[in-house]
């Protein structure tokens, strides 16, 4: 099963990808992780990517797609794979298809904007350890303090409300055409990926059950 997971920041892509990876025994592929690994390994592609990253620029789609193409040809992807949050744009999807990377299912995790805002702005992080809490969903024992050390928790810049709203607006602008493309493919093109839209709201357990049911996973 070759799966692409699409959804807003905070929709649970990584969480559900990890659950699918464990259940289906197929790799979860993150383009960010692959880029960082290529940079750390000092490969030619990694050195090129590092140049863009140091300048604060996005790594070009052609390079990211080539990394994905090479990754899915590895032996552990023979039974399928999960692309976590890529492609994000129509251009990336077209490039992926042009590179010969086949997809079986496009899974859209739909969560209302206001719930995404509540999820992300409620996060509190213990920066030294990376432990993450939520003011209502996973509160610390003492408000504002890490359970282990008692040190103060922080709101990451990415979780500030203005930043979250900007990321949501960017998602809709970039990903709307991508989802339309996959819907049209699924509706009228033989052999196209199946398009599955799942309600990702509510608890992790409830949304995970809906994901598994939609994909026919026991």
Catalytic residues: 13, 88, 123, 156, 167
Q: Secondary structure of the chain: what % helix, strand, coil (to 5)?
A: 50, 15, 35
Structure tokens at 123: 């996060």
**124 bridge partner residues:** 133
Closest CA to 26 of 35, 37, 34, 18: 18
Cα–Cα dist 138/169, whole Å: 27
Whose CA is closest to 129, among 153, 110, 106, 95? 153
DSSP tally for the chain: helices H, then strands E: 8, 7
Mapped onto helix, strand or coil, the DSSP state of residue 193 is coil
Whose structure tokens read 């991508």?
Answer: 178
Alpha-carbon span 215 to 17, nearest angstrom: 13
CB 88 within 8 A of CB 174: yes
CA atoms within 13 A of residue 199's CA, in its CB half-sphere:
7
């Amino acid at each position: 099963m070759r799966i692409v997971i699409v959804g807003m920041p905070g929709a649970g892509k990584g969480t559900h990808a990890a659950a699918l990876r464990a259940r289906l025994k197929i790799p979860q592929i993150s383009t960010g992780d692959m880029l960082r690994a290529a940079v750390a390994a000092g490969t030619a592609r990694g050195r090129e990517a590092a140049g863009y990253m140091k300048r604060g620029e996005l790594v070009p789609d052609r390079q990211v797609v080539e990394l994905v193409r090479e990754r899915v040809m590895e032996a552990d992807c023979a039974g399928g794979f999960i692309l976590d949050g890529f492609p994000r744009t129509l251009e990336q999807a077209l490039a992926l298809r042009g590179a010969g990377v086949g997809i079986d299912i496009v899974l859209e995790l739909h969560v209302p904007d206001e719930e995404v805002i509540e999820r992300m702005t409620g996060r509190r992080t213990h920066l030294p350890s990376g432990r993450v809490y939520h003011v209502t969903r996973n509160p610390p024992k003492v408000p504002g303090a890490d359970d282990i050390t008692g040190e103060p928790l922080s709101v990451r810049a990415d979780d500030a409300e203005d930043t979250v709203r900007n990321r949501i607006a960017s998602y809709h602008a970039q990903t709307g055409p991508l989802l339309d493309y996959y819907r049209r493919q699924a509706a009228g093109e033989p052999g196209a990926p199946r398009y599955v839209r799942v309600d990702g709201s509510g608890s992790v357990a409830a949304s995970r059950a809906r994901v598994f049911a939609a994909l026919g996973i026991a």
